[in-house]
Amino acid sequence: MPDLPQPLLTEPEPRVNACSASVPRRQALACLAGSALLAAGGPWWSQTASAASPSPSTSGDRNLPRLVTAGGALTEIVYALGAQAQLVGTDTTSLYPPQAQQTPKVGYLRQLSAEGLLSLRPDALIATADAGPSVVLDQLRSARVHVELVSIDHTWDEVGRKVAAVGRAARRESQAMAYLAELTARWTAVQARVQAGVQARARRPVPSVLFVLAHAGSPMVSGRATAADAVIRLAGCRNALQAFSGYRPMTAEAMAAAAPDVIVMTTQGLEAVGGTEKFWQRPELALTPAWRRRERARTLVDMDALALLGFGPRLPEVVWQLHESLMSA
């Protein structure tokens, strides 16, 4: 499966779990899990801060850890918890909020440089589990930089793990618990509305949706076990390609087999191919219901790459917006 373009977002190879538990039960479990996640691990900063960061943190408090984040969703959470003064560096996928674009950059999350990271004198690196290379992470640990890696499975639980990891690393556990409870309440409401929307279709099948990745090179289409596959299903729809995992080239054969009712792209990807009109001119699309209905309905939906695929704190709003767009197509 190809990487997403370095300046935007990475999509690792996940395992995708369906959101099958009842909504109230998931909310209660998420709150309990948040407490457990935040309590995990000890106060590592008390042992490492003085050695790894002899100078004061950017917040003006010597005791607050200096943070580097590698993963756009993690950076969003740092700002949401009000810990941005502790943020001394971010990776190139950290584009939101806009202020994050002004932070010192440590490179692409899968191609980190130990020298560049250590020059920022961080106490901790918070990253998703696909960050690397591993030799760089080992060098950071040897330099007594705490490395916190968050596992990825493209579920709501992943969002909780990210909030918990940032809360621990920033020493803002109570704020993280409150924030996770707020996010979980929003997620619970969104999932209930999505389920109601699916049920309201009665006997009509949910739309068949195809995600096209087109940031660089030839466009690719998403099969199973990707962030795109997960978010399509969370929005109450069906991924049009189930015969394979990961990404494959967008060929005429693939489009004919998929026969999507709606196509989803990132806004950045749509811009990269020249916009909506240019995209619809591709000959392989003429074989799809989405192409045939393009003048009667909005059968091409685009959303920001990090919001759509990053599984961060904007996931409730993203899933609801996607659900509304897909169901009305």
Q: Go through 132-155 and write b for each residue having 16 or more CB atoms within 10 A of its CB, e for each that does not.
A: eeeebbebbeeeebbbbbbebbbb
Range name among 4-13, 116-125, 186-195 with the lowest pLDDT average? 4-13
Band of pLDDT at residue 140, cut at 50, 70 and 90: very high
Q: Looking at the DSSP assignment, which residues form a beta bridge with residue 89? A: 68
The pLDDT tens digits of the residues spanning 24-75 come to 444 444 444 444 454 444 433 333 332 223 333 444 456 899 999 999 999 9
Q: Are 303 and 270 in contact (CB under 8 A)?
A: no
Question: What pTM value is reported for the model?
Answer: 0.82
Residue 88 has a pLDDT of 98
Q: Are 212 and 247 in contact (CB under 8 A)?
A: no
The pLDDT tens digits of the residues spanning 143-166 come to 999 999 999 999 999 999 999 999
- Please report, for residues 79, 93, 95, 103, 225, the alpha-carbon distance to residue 98 in angstroms, rounded to integers and kept in the order given: 11, 12, 6, 10, 30
Range name among 128-142, 174-188, 195-209 with the lowest pLDDT average? 195-209
Residue 55 has a pLDDT of 34
Going by the DSSP 8-state scheme, the letter that residue 249 receives in this structure is: E
Residue 283 structure tokens: 């000959």
Q: Are 151 and 158 in contact (CB under 8 A)?
A: yes
The pLDDT tens digits of the residues spanning 184-243 come to 999 999 999 999 999 998 788 999 999 999 987 789 999 999 999 999 999 999 999 999
Residue 12 has a pLDDT of 37
Residue 329 has a pLDDT of 82
The pLDDT tens digits of the residues spanning 257-270 come to 999 999 999 999 99
The pLDDT tens digits of the residues spanning 307-316 come to 999 999 999 9
DSSP 48-93: HHHHH--SPPTTS-TTSPPEEEESHHHHHHHHHTT-GGGEEEE-TT
Amino acid identity at 46: S
The mean per-residue pLDDT over the stretch 106-120 comes to 96
In the chain, the domains with their CATH numbers are 23-184 (3.40.50.1980), 204-327 (3.40.50.1980)
Q: CA-based angle 294:318:190, to the nearest 5?
A: 110
The mean per-residue pLDDT over the stretch 277-304 comes to 95
What rounded mean pLDDT belongs to the chain?
A: 86
- Please report, for residues 2, 62, 249, 291, the alpha-carbon distance to residue 253 in angstroms, rounded to integers and kept in the order given: 20, 60, 10, 15
Residue 284 structure tokens: 């392989």
The mean per-residue pLDDT over the stretch 295-316 comes to 97
Q: Which among 181, 182, 230 is positioned nearest to 30, based on CA atoms?
A: 181
Residue 180 has a pLDDT of 98
> Which is more confident, 296 or 19?
296
Q: Which among 123, 148, 135, 181 is positioned nearest to 40, based on CA atoms?
A: 148
The mean per-residue pLDDT over the stretch 173-185 comes to 98
Going by the DSSP 8-state scheme, the letter that residue 105 receives in this structure is: B
* Torsion of Cα atoms, 191 then 197 then 202 then 205, to 10°: -80
Residue 62 has a pLDDT of 62
> Which is more confident, 237 or 287?
237
**Backbone φ, ψ for residue 27 (5° rounding):** -65, -45
Range name among 78-92, 103-117, 183-197, 212-226 with the lowest pLDDT average? 212-226
CB atoms within 10 A of CB 170: 26
**Given a cut of 70, is residue 305 above it in pLDDT?**
yes
